[in-house]
Amino acid sequence: MNELIMKPEETFLALQDGSDVAELIAANFSGGETLTEQDLVQVKTPTGGSTTWEFEDITGTVETKALEGICVYYGSGGILWPSMEIGSQQTPLLVTNDLIKARKVGDDYGDLDPDLIESFRNEDGSYNWLGLCGDNAPLGFGAGRNGGKRCDEYRNLCLLRAEDTFPIMVRVKAGSFRSVLPFMKKLPVPFYRALISLSLDKVESQSGNKYSQISPRLIGKLDREQGEFIQKTYTEGLRTTFER
């Protein structure tokens, strides 16, 4: 897509004149329901340095070199697992939606020091995630695998593709922070007015391990009216979902 010639209102189903996207979302989500993480197609960053995205959507298996769409949501999150050996049966110990405060969702401390964890408990019952898991914190850099953080931090990035009524979700992990975080901060418009492309680069860590790093690019912008529609229809509901 080319910013100079693309007309989002013609390209994106949700922005076309007479689109019933807002109506169908209002009608099909009853009782104050909003979009949840489970409603979204979740796209995982591939392993081993692959430069191809592969996931399942309503059409079947999708393989593509780039994900393109409107960035309808972008936000932080993190999980502290009781063990670094993450298994399907594990329940997280702490969960955060802002990387500042966390809530306790499990009772198993695993290989963590309970006294250390509880020393970061706030008076309101929440936990000081920043103090516990910040860059120079006890569970920050150096406390995890290969010198990384013991805490699992990420960014949730939701893209509305041209043909979709529901966005897809990409969970940006630490391996792509160096490329994604500065890009999002430097966007010339609010994220919900940005049309972006996410491709994959094959990179190698200092220890020689190959992995896939997300490479973002700005490919277009929405006007204010279109941005307000996206914000009201998608962003506000997703913010409620991810930041509650």
Give yes or no: residues 69 and 83 share one domain.
no
Give yes or no: residues 93 and 212 share one domain.
no
How many domains does the chain divide into? 2
Give yes or no: residues 82 and 71 share one domain.
no
Give yes or no: residues 60 and 161 share one domain.
yes
Pick the last residue of a domain from 86, 119, 147.
147
Residue 1 has pLDDT above 50, yes or no: no
| 2 in any annotated domain | no
pLDDT in tens, 147-193: 789 999 999 999 999 988 889 999 999 999 999 999 999 999 999 99
Residue range(s) defining the domain that contains residue 218: 8-75+156-243
Q: What's the CA angle centered on 63, arms 58 and 69, to 5 degrees?
A: 70
Give yes or no: residues 31 and 90 share one domain.
no
pLDDT in tens, 14-62: 887 767 776 777 677 666 666 677 889 999 999 889 999 999 988 899 9
